[in-house]
Structure 1
Amino acid sequence: MESASQGRLKAEVPAVTATAATTHIALKPRTATMEALEDITYGSIAGVVGKYIEYPFDTVKVRLQSQPDHLPLRYTGPLDCFRQSLRADGFLGLYRGISAPLFGAAVETSSLFFFERIGREAIYASGFHPRDSGLTLPQLWFTGAFSGAFTSFLLTPVELVKCKIQVPESEAAGARAAARLRPIPVVKDIFRHHGLVGFWHGQVGTLIRESGGCAAWFGSKETATKLLRDWNEKRSLARKPSTPAELARMRTDPLPLWQQALAGATAGMSYNFLFFPADTIKSRMQTTPLGQSTKGQSFGNEARALWRQAGLGGFYRGCGVTVLRSAPSSAFIFMVYDGLKKYFPMQ
């Protein structure tokens, strides 16, 4: 499977070099519409696959992040949260409210790939970089930040509903019993209590997490891919001399599957670790009980309250389990997306 950056360059070349077992296949010129449709369709599928893998860990993360200031901590750590959640609701309870996140994952991942393409086109259109050559790594980090910033505005309402389902009001208030909430009633309650603007409660946290995190997500993926290609090339040259054609093919052929997984896992861990504090603050804001006034609950005020309550460690509550689940999830997202683009290109 090829990397996402390689897939985006197909429109700019008349043919694709196949492996030794296949022939050269001439491709029709790719239109911007087909490329965008691939981003939306294949990004949605990849996002859904990744969400099924990570959702139980995400539920634990949100419950750890949203523990109230005025009560003793209910969970001593991720394993304790897993145990209590399994005891209370069983394994399926960890998938509570997954319908909204599945929709959100489809929106998020397809939007990320779509807006990342728009960011690339903006760089090419500016004239700062020739269209017939690949972008530099700093430019790829920029297109990731560009993508995350725009995606955050689509994602905040979906995450708001998800967080309120994962941490029901009774649990957020410290009670043991947890009401089973559904997306549609939660949406209606948010609108009734806070109006349309209420769906973007926590937007600042999502914006920081997505713009910074997606810069790391795309940038780390491409950086790891480049390092692995350089390593493969050095190993090959150490074994035997290579012709210029062989070296060129080595730089464009898909990485071995395990290296693709490694690059994708690196991207996921970078995304989640670097901007985790912003996600913690966002989760605390978005798990405020429905009907409770959010006046004065700004990103800065919530950050100061958390600092007073728990210090620096409070901002990283649930970070370990989040980084752990992000490795396989992100690896699968990139592998599914790149695989679909390679084997099922839209003409």
Structure 2
Amino acid sequence: MEPAAATSLQPEMSLSPLSPISSSPATPLPVVKTKPKTAVMEALEDITYGSVAGVVGKYIEYPFDTVKVRLQSQPDHLPLRYTGPLDCFRQSIRADGFLGLYRGISAPLVGAALENSSLFFWERIGRDAAYKMGMAPRGEPLPLTQLWLTGAFSGAMTSFILTPVELVKCKIQVPETEGGVVKAPLKPIPVIRDIFRHQGLAGFWHGQLGTLIREAGGCGAWFGSKETVSKLFREWNEGGVTSEEQLALMRADALPLWQQAVAGASAGMSYNFLFFPADTVKSRMQTTPIGESTAKMTFSSEAKALWKQAGIKGFYRGCGITVLRSVPSSAFIFMVFDALKKYLPMQ
């Protein structure tokens, strides 16, 4: 198609009232071409926008996460302190007020920024590797099975960053008692110092196996479910559309906001439900009082103790409230991340 400047002057052209009429052709506006993003810019976007999305999601979900950890970490040898999520909410608010549910949020905010930036960064690395291995032509969508695998790879890599952050968070979220009296809330820096003093550097990865299982499996489901539901929505939206031009425009554009929210919510529910037992065992391991020996506390020994105490139900304490809080949290994480990538691209 020839540019407009190559044609003769058209009668409908608007002329400036301050300029004389001229028969010379109009000068075309320059076409602005955006440079393709470099790998560095892509990585910077993943880290920056993933961090922002993670912080937003953490503020939404944190009170529910506090309740979940308190339900999961009830000891074997004592009667259950909480009868369920609502009772835990009620007791927690009565004891500390609503802001008490945000106890220890500073470390998790850092953790959420690290976690989500790492997840999106490693997921993109996984996609690049899949293209290089010939799983799909570059520029074409990867098969859904590959997207589940790249999500699992992302989660596995992120688990090594996440375990120390969650260890500190869990010890702060669960109040310690002495003689039936609740001790003063712990602070992040003293907790970090005490862990290092009693268990050394390796002590920060106590519970790593549980985090690895939860993150590898859960993030495979997180990214995979989001992409699966998004694909179903696109197919539904394109139903009956026969124009290739219109189809190309629809595929280049983002899904409607409500569909993005549903896809993100389904991702959060899949992540939290499928591998919740691993998270329960991990939380029990990480809420051991500082100073107690953890040498004999393994993932399998804690799993056996929990099974003996409460059976399969014990592995799902707090699952309902965790899945519930993941609906708005994951929806916002994906919506914020995708919106920032689309409207604030780094060049």
Corresponding pairs, count = 317
Q: Residues of 1 paired with 2:158 and 2:309: CA distance?
A: 31
Aligned to 2:19: none
Task: Report if the CA contact (8 A) 1:169-1:290 is conserved.
Answer: no
Q: Tell me the residue number matched to 1:72.
A: 79
Q: Which amino acid aligns with 1:328?
A: P
Name the amino acid aligned to 1:46.
A
Structure 1 counterpart of 2:235: 230
Q: List aligned pairs for 1:122-141, cutoff 5 A.
A: 122-141=129-148
Amino acid at match of 2:165: V
TM-score by length of 1: 0.89
- The Cα offsets for residues 64-101 of structure 1, whole Å up to 9 and x where unpaired, read as 00000000000000000000000000000000000000
1:253-307 Cα deviation digits (max 9, x unpaired): 1111101000000000000000000000000000000000001110000000000
Q: Name the counterpart of 1:182.
A: 187
Q: Which residue of 2 aligns with 1:202?
A: 207
Q: Note the residue ranges of structure 2 that are not aligned, 5 or more in a row.
A: 1-30
- Give 1:27 shift: 2.3
2:220 is matched by which residue type in structure 1? A
Compare 177-186 and 66-75 and name the one that shifted more: 177-186
Residue in 1 that maps onto 2:17: none
Structure 1 residue 176: deviation in Å? Answer: 4.3
User: Which residue of structure 1 aligns with residue 254 of structure 2?
Assistant: 254
Structure 1 residue matching 2:182: 3-state secondary structure = coil
Matched, 1:88 2:95: yes
Work out the CA distance in 2 between the residues paired with 1:206 and 1:106: 17
Q: Distance between the aligned counterparts of 2:207 and 2:200, measured in 1?
A: 15
1:313 matched residue in structure 2 = 313
**Mapping 1:262-273, distance limit 5 Å:** 262-273=262-273
CA-CA distance at 1:174 after TM superposition: 8.3
> In the alignment, what sits opposite 1:45?
52
- Give the 4+ runs in structure 1 shifted more than 3 A: 173-176
1:107 aligns with 2:114: yes
| Cα separation, partners in 2 of 1:324 and 1:45, compared to 1, 3 Å | same
Give 1:257's aligned amino acid: L
Q: CA deviation at 1:125?
A: 2.0
Structure 1 stretches of 5 or more lacking a match?
Answer: 1-23
Q: Which of 35, 40, 65 is 2:42 aligned to?
A: 35
- Residue type of the alignment partner of 1:148: G
Structure 1 or 2: more helix by fraction: 1
> How far is 1:128 from its partner?
3.5
Specify the alignment match of 1:213 in structure 2.
218
For 1:280, the equivalent position in structure 2 comes to 280
Task: Quickly say closer, same or farther: Cα 1:25–1:245, change in 2 above 3 A.
Answer: farther
Instruction: Indicate the structure whose relative CO is greater, using CA pairs within 8 Å and at least 6 residues apart.
Output: 1
Q: How many Å apart are 1:129 and its aligned residue?
A: 2.7
Quote the residue 2:61 is aligned against.
54
Match of 1:323 in 2: 323
